[in-house]
């Protein structure tokens, strides 16, 4: 390092679900560098975000004092969002005034319109303890289950399929297990961009001889290591996967002992995929029949095989069906519960697994205990000393719709940015402007905070202690490295102050107290104590006791389902919600860039990262660019049925003709102004990966 740090604090990366362990190097109370540690998930490796994405914490735009909307500025004045001016809509306030106002207005809406008018969003960027407190506040203070977080836009459909078929929404094996695999499928995921350190383990496994099958409508960097790269037609995942299932059953490649002893639903799956011949499925998904056969044989004949998937599978109206097919592939071939085998939906945020485990979802209490079960509810009523709502709550997009319609009138948002991340953004922003009371707790004036009545300045990741659960089910300790700026406060403190002003009586003194309460109700945390995490940094669940190491690979001895077996649920080929037509002939997909994180509120304020990717660009295939008669760098317009944005064109030879890609981190040209809010019926996830679109010259 050019600067000699005067102290070092070991922690975890604040970005993706890989959960790389790192060290903050600090000089004069400022983070001056980040270095990778020998964590179990990263073995000292870090990607560009982990290494260079930290100076957002010292950005002068940090919120340092509570803010209250000025009486003479209506929320509709924030439409459309003007990034240059939102602070002028607010005045500074003391913590007492801001918290009293927020709690008073929230209480007023609850008591006037009833609990069904209340809602809350927590964040997968927050710690386990913060997620637990947000859901507890909404359930006991707001008195509703209308609580959710960005898992609804991420892997909700994967979790729905996993819970349905193997009784658990978490991964069955850590990603580094791929070192023991003979075959690896990566589908609907671009790990080199979205989970870069996990991608290095996949590459290493392929270099050592594992057969890698990459399935993605777009080409990607992992193709270089692949036995086969299948650039199938967007939105035809079920056709491709049913083709693979058909071959495995038809050629008798399945593990008949495993199927007989450990699964159910085989005969139904066989019957429902009987007509899914490679030839029939090829006509839909665009992959040659012989390639479908080769891949099916390569996967089924492997001694151990893993499947990795991402948002390309989950963010569809048939996202749950896509995941059901992947689960069937693994169960048919016995590729669960042994070294080198497993199902691994690569989690997005660094704590999306932990936030869901902690109950930050509308249908489950912590550890996926159904809110509708009277016995379970009684247990939580006793622990939390409150009467609880027996009905499942609304999910993210349903809450936004209810706010738009006026049925939801109050919203508390901690660390999320629905004004950027929700589909059909004009609708989402109008919904936020329609609320009687919006309380936002965040570190920056986000696009969502611009619609708030009260803004509470929070702490950034390196400014707090807390536990975080990575994509592998690994609970890790994040440690406070520096103090929050100005009068910004710890998130758990803010939630508690709000709760107590709403009539609750909480007395936590540290994140450790909250973790202790979570252990009382979450069997997944048996064996994982705060002190143990301080000493060991990371422990994987399930972990039977404090001396147990935890399990990387699970379900070798059956599944946590009623029958103890895994279920194979067939899926039919269905079209996306909105097919291209003469008016909108292209397929638009959205997603992340390597350098930027989600809605960009952190990484666009990280100097190195923003310098690497400073401007919004739409990625277009060379032939589509040529048809439009424009060049790379020219300003063009992307139009869908929801709206339009103008941004520069980037030529992307890895895209097939007829498909475009728009990153969703740029508020100057927000991709979600264009996306389709149609939902998967099971996971309630919107179809962010498929909208009919057209390009126009500007
Ligand atoms: Fe952070 Fe993920 Fe990069 Fe690791 S791979 S450094 S967790 S963003």
Q: What is the mean pLDDT of residues 458-464?
A: 98
Q: Distance (Å, rounded) from C-alpha 312 to C-alpha 321? A: 13
Residue nearest to atom 4 of ligand 1 (CA): 20
- Between the CA of 349 and the centroid of ligand 1 the distance, in Å, is 10
- Between the CA of 427 and the centroid of ligand 1 the distance, in Å, is 33
pTM of the model: 0.96
Please report which residue ranges of 137-265 form alpha helices under DSSP H. 156-166, 191-194, 196-207, 237-250, 256-262
Judged by DSSP in three states, 25 sits in: strand
Assess contact for 46 and 34: CB atoms under 8 A.
Answer: yes
264-282 confidence digits (pLDDT tens): 999 999 999 999 999 999 9
Beta-strand ranges (E) seen in 553-687 are: 566-567, 586-591, 617-620, 635-639, 644-651, 659-663, 676-679, 686-687
Of 677, 617, 559, 515, nearest in space to 264 by CA: 559
**Mutation pick for ligand 1 pocket among 34, 51, 196 (CB with most ligand atoms within 8 Å):** 196
Helices and strands (H, E) in the chain, number of each type: 23, 30
* Long-range contacts of the stretch 366-371 (C-beta < 8 A, 24+): 366/132, 366/135, 366/518, 366/521, 366/522, 367/521, 367/522, 367/523, 367/524, 368/163, 368/168, 368/169, 371/145
Confidence bin at 151 (pLDDT 50/70/90)? confident
Q: Distance (Å, rounded) from C-alpha 352 to C-alpha 344? A: 14
Q: Which atom of ligand 1 is nearest to the CA of 12?
A: 7
Residues 6+ apart with CB under 8 A from 223: 214, 229
ipTM for the predicted complex comes to 1.00
Confidence bin at 81 (pLDDT 50/70/90)? low
- Between the CA of 342 and the centroid of ligand 1 the distance, in Å, is 22
Q: Which atom of ligand 1 is nearest to the CA of 198?
A: 5
122-147 confidence digits (pLDDT tens): 999 999 999 999 999 999 999 999 99
Q: Which atom of ligand 1 is nearest to the CA of 15?
A: 8
Residue nearest to atom 1 of ligand 1 (CA): 50
Structure tokens at 443: 């570190």
- Between the CA of 21 and the centroid of ligand 1 the distance, in Å, is 9
With a Cβ cut-off of 6 Å, ligand 1 is lined by 13, 15-16, 18-20, 42, 46-47, 49-50, 195-197
- Between the CA of 155 and the centroid of ligand 1 the distance, in Å, is 18
Structure tokens at 456: 């509470």
Is 620 a residue whose pLDDT tops 60? yes
Distances (CA, A) of 323 to 29, 97, 127, 165, 569: 46, 48, 27, 10, 10
Q: What is the mean pLDDT of residues 568-596?
A: 97
27-69 confidence digits (pLDDT tens): 999 999 999 999 999 999 999 999 999 999 999 999 999 999 9
Q: What is the mean pLDDT of the chain?
A: 96
391-406 confidence digits (pLDDT tens): 999 999 999 999 999 9
Q: Distance (Å, rounded) from C-alpha 656 to C-alpha 219? A: 8
Structure tokens at 112: 């006037």
**Mutation pick for ligand 1 pocket among 47, 54, 353 (CB with most ligand atoms within 8 Å):** 47
- Between the CA of 649 and the centroid of ligand 1 the distance, in Å, is 28
């Amino acid at each position: 390092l050019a600067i000699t740090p005067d102290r070092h604090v070991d922690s975890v990366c604040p970005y993706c679900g890989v959960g790389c362990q790192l060290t903050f190097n600090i000089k004069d109370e400022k983070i001056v560098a980040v270095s990778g540690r020998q964590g179990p998930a990263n073995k000292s490796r870090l990607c560009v975000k982990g290494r260079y994405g930290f100076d957002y914490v010292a950005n002068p735009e940090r919120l340092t004092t509570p803010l209250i909307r000025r009486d003479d500025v209506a929320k509709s004045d924030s439409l459309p969002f003007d990034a240059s001016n939102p602070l002028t809509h607010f005045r500074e306030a003391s913590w007492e005034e801001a918290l009293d106002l927020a709690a008073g207005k929230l209480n007023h809406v609850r008591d006037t319109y009833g609990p069904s008018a209340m809602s809350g969003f927590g964040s997968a960027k927050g710690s386990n303890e913060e997620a637990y407190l947000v859901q507890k506040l909404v359930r006991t203070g707001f008195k509703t289950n209308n609580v959710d977080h960005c898992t609804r836009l991420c892997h909700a459909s994967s979790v729905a399929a996993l819970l349905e078929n193997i009784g658990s929404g978490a991964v069955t094996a850590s990603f580094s297990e791929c070192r023991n695999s003979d075959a690896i499928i990566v589908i609907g995921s671009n790990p080199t961009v979205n989970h870069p350190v996990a991608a290095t383990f996949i590459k290493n496994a392929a270099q050592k001889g594992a057969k890698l099958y990459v399935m993605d409508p777009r080409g990607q960097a992992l193709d270089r290591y692949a036995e086969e790269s299948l650039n199938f037609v967007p939105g035809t995942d079920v056709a491709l996967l049913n083709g693979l299932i058909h071959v495995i059953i038809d050629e008798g490649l399945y593990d008949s002992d495993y199927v007989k002893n450990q699964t159910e639903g085989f005969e139904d799956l066989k019957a429902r995929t009987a007509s899914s011949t490679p030839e029939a499925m090829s006509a839909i998904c665009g992959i040659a029949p012989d390639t479908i056969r080769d891949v099916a044989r390569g996967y089924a004949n492997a001694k151990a095989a893993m499947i990795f998937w991402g948002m390309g599978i989950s963010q569809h109206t048939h996202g749950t069906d896509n995941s059901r097919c992947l689960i069937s592939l693994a169960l048919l071939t016995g590729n669960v519960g042994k070294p080198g085998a497993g199902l691994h939906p690569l989690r997005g945020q660094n704590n999306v697994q932990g936030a869901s485990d902690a109950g930050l979802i509308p249908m489950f209490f912590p550890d996926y205990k159904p809110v509708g079960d009277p016995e379970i509810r009684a247990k939580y009523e006793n622990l939390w000393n409150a009467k609880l709502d027996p009905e499942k709550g609304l999910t993210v997009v349903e809450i936004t719709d209810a706010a738009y319609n006026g049925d939801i009138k109050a919203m508390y948002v901690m660390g999320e940015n629905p004004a950027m991340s929700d589909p059909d953004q004009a609708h989402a922003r109008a919904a936020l402007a329609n609320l009687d009371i919006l309380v936002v707790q965040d570190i920056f004036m986000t696009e969502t905070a611009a619609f708030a009545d009260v803004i509470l300045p929070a702490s950034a990741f390196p400014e707090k202690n807390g536990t975080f659960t990575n994509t592998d089910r690994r609970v890790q300790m994040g440690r406070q490295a520096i103090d929050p700026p100005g009068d910004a406060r710890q998130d758990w403190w803010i939630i508690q102050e709000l709760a107590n002003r709403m009539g609750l009586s909480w007395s936590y003194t540290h994140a450790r107290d909250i973790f202790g309460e979570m252990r009382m109700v979450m069997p997944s945390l048996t064996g994982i104590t705060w002190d143990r995490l301080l000493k060991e940094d990371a422990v994987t669940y399930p972990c039977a006791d404090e001396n147990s190491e935890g399990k990387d690979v699970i379900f070798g001895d059956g599944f946590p389902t009623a029958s103890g077996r895994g279920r194979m649920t067939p899926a039919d080929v269905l079209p996306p919600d909105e097919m291209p037509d003469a008016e909108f002939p292209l397929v638009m997909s959205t997603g992340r860039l390597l350098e930027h994180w989600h809605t960009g509120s952190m990484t666009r304020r990280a100097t190195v990262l923003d310098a690497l990717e400073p401007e919004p660009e739409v990625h277009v295939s060379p032939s589509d660019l040529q048809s439009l008669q424009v060049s790379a760098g020219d300003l063009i317009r992307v139009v869908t049925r929801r709206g339009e944005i103008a941004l520069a064109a980037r030529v992307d030879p890895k895209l097939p003709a007829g498909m475009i890609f728009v990153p969703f981190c740029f508020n100057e040209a927000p991709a979600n102004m264009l996306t389709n809010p149609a939902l998967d019926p099971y996971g309630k996830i919107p179809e962010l990966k498929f909208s009919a679109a057209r390009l126009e010259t500007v």
